[in-house]
Amino acid sequence: MNFIFLGAPGAGKGTQAEVLSREKGIPTISTGNIIRSALKSGTEMGLRAKAYTESGKLVPDEIVIGIIRERLAEPDCKNGFILDGFPRTIPQAEALDKMGIVIDRVIDIEVTEQMIMNRLSGRRVCENCGASYHVVNKKPKVEGVCDLCGGTLVQRKDDQPETIQARLKVYHEQTEPLKAYYEKQGKLRVVQGCDIVSDTTRAVLDAIEA
């Protein structure tokens, strides 16, 4: 089966996508991770995307669609995949449909904006291996140091409060309309995000079978 995860920044899409990936044995395709990798390696696409990501804006459709088209053509996607962070706009969803990609379920994870602010502003990421921590919910053994590789933990620019607000504004204006788009297709399933990850996971798995 092919899945899409929707939800505001910090709703827990990535966490739940990884759980479902292990459960179903299919890859998670996160455009955010692909773009961040391109930023770090300084590729042409990464340089084009940099100005957008650092200001909390969406990367233009033509860049993102090109990334997705190439990724879905890889062999590990033949038995299904999970899209996390794509589509983010109606034109992207329409482009996906035009590619002939069939989506079976669209899971929308709903959380409050206060929960989002708490989650994202407290997140810290290893600048070396990308492992994620939180100043309250998932502290490293040594403050500021990655448990896995010893790298330095940093706050991403797009997790700073002013950028979170910009990201949420963009989400409400450009991404939230996707709920109605997929509801019309009969594919949307809404899940209430919980503080406890496993509770959200149970709700996601129930929604997939619904």
Q: Which residues pair with 2 in a beta bridge?
A: 81
Sheet holding 188-192, edge to edge: 28-30, 81-84, 2-6, 105-110, 188-192
124 is catalytic: no
Pick the catalytic residue: 36, 71, 88, 189?
88
Q: What is the pLDDT of residue 147?
A: 95
Q: What is the pLDDT of residue 195?
A: 80
Cα gap 169→162, rounded to integer Å: 11
Q: What is the pLDDT of residue 16?
A: 92
167 is catalytic: yes
69 is catalytic: no
Q: What is the pLDDT of residue 187?
A: 95
Q: What is the pLDDT of residue 80?
A: 94
Pick the catalytic residue: 50, 156, 179, 187?
156
Q: What is the pLDDT of residue 105?
A: 95
Q: What is the pLDDT of residue 14?
A: 85
Q: What is the pLDDT of residue 52?
A: 82
Tens place of pLDDT for every residue, the chain, 210 residues?
A: 899 999 998 898 888 998 999 989 999 988 777 777 777 777 777 777 787 877 778 778 877 787 777 788 889 999 999 999 889 899 999 999 998 889 999 999 999 988 898 888 999 999 988 888 999 888 999 999 999 999 999 998 888 888 889 989 999 999 999 999 999 999 999 999 988 889 999 999 999 887
Q: What is the pLDDT of residue 100?
A: 87
Pick the catalytic residue: 36, 71, 124, 167?
167
Pick the catalytic residue: 36, 123, 124, 189?
123
Q: Which residues pair with 36 in a beta bridge?
A: none
DSSP strands (E only) in 41-104? 81-84
